[in-house]
Structure 1
């Protein structure tokens, strides 16, 4: 049961956040809250020490600080900052967090370029009959949860909780 929670909750929350951000340009607050609550429930059962537990929340605090600054500068949305913070807690202050953040940056850059191209050619895209939400074409924002989701799904197998769960299954 513990392994199922570790393998399912994080990816499902990222997929749901990506989906809602794509269609509605919002990330419901319950998604980062579910991620944080699930981490609080799961972490003690994987043998995490108090120090390691604290380092996971320190990772969230560092990412939240940067995300809040970017939000204050109107560079990042509040939902994106909260989702990124909750995801960072699952990674902790580990090399996997750095890998995740690098993937977020690359996926975000590619996503931004793709959406800018779509917006520049919106008449052609719409004339071809491609079903795109109006928010993708007309909004001034980028649904960055998609980049966070792609990066999270790509790097989650390297996260400490997944590695601990796999070790538990082997042991």
Structure 2
């Protein structure tokens, strides 16, 4: 039961981070921190072996280093880098490549409308719409969440959560 709750927290925070990123163009630090911290009990209740746990940590660490590099190259925001690293912890090796591929594709899809708005020089009159269609910052939180949901069926932790749901029914 606890693994189901933790998987729900993970999914809910991905959605929250994506929506917040669209509206404010920032992903709050606490979202990534809670996702990363929730990974620890989730790994325990998903019965990951120490070997599997280590691989999940390694994937998260590599994602964090890549995110830091992209942040310093000004390709990503800091929130994007932290959310990718936290989500990668949950994906591990089994879902990591799928997550990165889905995240990259979704990132392009998210950027296309903003590129169109920039090229057409459309400037919404409504302040909220102007912020949503701010072409200077792409809300990659949406792409990160999409990649996380796409790769979820390959994550050992989330597979165990789905199995717990089917056993409960």
Normalised by the length of structure 1, the TM-score is: 0.88
- Number of residues of Structure 1 aligned to a counterpart in Structure 2: 167
Inter-partner Cα distance in structure 2 for 1:167 and 1:13: 21
Residue 143 (structure 1) shift: 0.7
Corresponding residue SS for 2:48: coil
Q: Residue 54 of structure 2 aligns with which residue?
A: 54
CA distance in 2: counterparts of 1:134 and 1:21, whole angstroms: 14
3-state DSSP class of the match of 2:93?
Answer: coil
Q: Which residue of structure 2 lines up, in the alignment, with residue 9 of structure 1?
A: 9
2:88 aligned partner: 88
Alignment of 1:16-165 (within 5 A): 16-94=16-94, 96-121=95-120, 123=122, 126=124, 133-165=129-161
Distance in 1 (alpha carbons) for counterparts of 2:44 and 2:152: 19
CA contact (8 A) 1:6 1:162 kept: no
CA contact 2:35–2:87 (8 Å) conserved in 1 = yes
TM-score between the two structures when normalised by the length of structure 2? 0.89
**Unaligned regions of 5+ residues in structure 2, if any?**
none
Q: CA deviation at 1:132?
A: 5.3
Distance 1:141 1:126 in 2: 16
State the alpha-carbon separation in 2 of the partners of residues 170 and 46 from structure 1: 14
CA distance in 2, matches of 1:137, 1:48: 42
Q: State the 4+ residue runs in structure 1 displaced beyond 6 angstroms.
A: none
Shift of 1:136: 3.4
Q: CA RMSD, aligned part only?
A: 2.1
